[in-house]
């Protein structure tokens, strides 16, 4: 069996760990692999790869790999005459039973039915993400900033990476609290992301408060630790912030010679952002290793 090509074998793609991860998934669709193998190829930790990929593309890397593998299987079932077992083996499943179970979970139908109908209609196939073809914004060079610990109060909700479209609703619920929060410091607001795991993260729509303040029962507080950040600026409409985040994580941090660190990240909405139109400048504070 040919081993995975990891680490130094891919120095040409080291500058962009997300591109490397996408390449790895497509290269090894025919094999089951662990997150650690992809992370080694990207020269970052599995934790940072999971976080970065989820923030950039809206789903965990291993979920993307599974969806891509099963989407390729669906195409093979319709467009060629291989046996179902052969197709299962081609996309990394060790038996037709394991393949059928995964296929049903993904598409709510089984491989035999798809082969019989010969139609992909109604199947939500996952196309390969081609990062080099994405229209990512050209961000200005970031600044390096050290920020002491601070405290925020706001509303919190846990989101899976593909549920981020629900974040504006959390802001809609939080905005009426502004100006009424005990000990609020300034008018800036924070979209703070914390407690990342393989599937989800906590998001806070919040404002900074002083250390002695008490909040009402509806609001929660969060202590943001002292941290070093690379600060990027998103310009334009807030709905395009995911593209700026992808550019910052995939290109900006590596090109600055830094590695993403554990710890919360946040969007800072200041006086250069218009919350009524959603247009303006938003600072993206991403934690990095010193």
**pLDDT of the residue at 131:** 67
The answer to whether the beta carbons of residues 7 and 36 sit under 8 Å apart is no
| 224, two tokens | 């943001």
273-278 contacts: CB < 8 A, separation 24 or more?
273/238, 275/175, 278/237, 278/238, 278/239
| CA 236 – CA 280 distance, rounded (Å) | 5
132-135 contacts: CB < 8 A, separation 24 or more?
132/19, 134/243, 134/246, 135/243
**pLDDT of the residue at 78:** 93
| CA 48 – CA 261 distance, rounded (Å) | 7
Q: What is the pLDDT along the chain (290 residues), one digit of tens a residue?
A: 344 455 434 444 345 788 889 999 999 988 889 999 999 988 888 888 888 898 888 889 999 999 999 999 999 999 988 999 999 999 999 999 999 999 999 999 999 999 999 999 999 999 998 765 455 788 999 999 999 999 999 999 999 988 888 899 999 999 999 988 999 999 999 999 999 988 899 999 999 999 887 776 789 999 999 999 999 999 999 988 888 988 898 889 989 999 888 899 999 999 999 988 899 999 999 999 98
CB burial class (10 A; 0-12, 13-18, 19+) of residue 276?
exposed
Q: Radius of gyration (Cα) for the chain, nearest Å?
A: 22
| CA 145 – CA 231 distance, rounded (Å) | 7
- Residue 196 has what DSSP assignment? -
Collapsed DSSP state (helix, strand, coil) of residue 260: strand
Torsion of CA 11, 14, 18, 22, to 10 degrees: 0
164-173 contacts: CB < 8 A, separation 24 or more?
164/58, 164/242, 167/191, 167/203, 167/205, 170/203, 170/205, 171/205, 173/205
**pLDDT of the residue at 95:** 92
**pLDDT of the residue at 132:** 57
Domains of the chain: 1-134 (1.10.10.60), 143-287 (3.20.80.10)
The answer to whether the beta carbons of residues 88 and 96 sit under 8 Å apart is yes
**pLDDT of the residue at 58:** 85
Collapsed DSSP state (helix, strand, coil) of residue 142: coil
**pLDDT of the residue at 14:** 43
**pLDDT of the residue at 24:** 93
């Amino acid at each position: 069996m040919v081993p995975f090509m990891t680490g130094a074998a891919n120095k040409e793609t080291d500058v962009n760990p997300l591109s490397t991860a996408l390449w790895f998934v497509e290269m090894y669709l025919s094999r089951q692999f662990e997150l650690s193998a992809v992370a080694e190829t990207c020269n970052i930790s599995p934790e940072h790869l999971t976080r970065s990929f989820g923030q950039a593309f809206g789903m965990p890397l291993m979920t993307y790999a599974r969806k891509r593998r099963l989407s390729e299987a669906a195409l093979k079932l319709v467009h060629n005459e291989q046996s179902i077992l052969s197709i299962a083996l081609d996309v990394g499943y060790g038996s037709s039973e394991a393949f059928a179970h995964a296929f049903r979970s993904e598409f709510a139908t089984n491989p035999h039915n798809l082969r019989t109908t010969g139609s992909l209609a109604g199947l939500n196939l996952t196309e390969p993400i081609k990062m080099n073809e994405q229209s990512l914004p050209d961000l200005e060079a970031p600044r390096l900033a050290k920020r002491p610990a601070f405290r925020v109060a706001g509303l919190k909700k846990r989101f899976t990476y593909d549920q981020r479209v629900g974040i504006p609703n959390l802001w809609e619920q939080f905005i009426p609290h502004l100006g009424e929060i005990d000990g609020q410091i300034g008018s800036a607001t924070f979209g703070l992301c914390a407690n990342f795991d393989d599937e989800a993260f906590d998001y806070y729509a919040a404002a900074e408060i002083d250390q002695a303040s008490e909040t009402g029962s509806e609001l929660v507080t969060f202590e943001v630790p002292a941290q070093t950040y690379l600060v990027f600026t998103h310009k334009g409409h807030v709905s395009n912030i995911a593209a700026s985040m992808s550019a910052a994580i995939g290109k900006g941090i590596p090109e600055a010679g830094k590695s993403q660190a554990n710890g919360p990240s946040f969007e800072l909405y200041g006086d250069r952002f218009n919350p009524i139109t959603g247009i303006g400048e938003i600072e993206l504070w991403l934690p990095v290793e010193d």
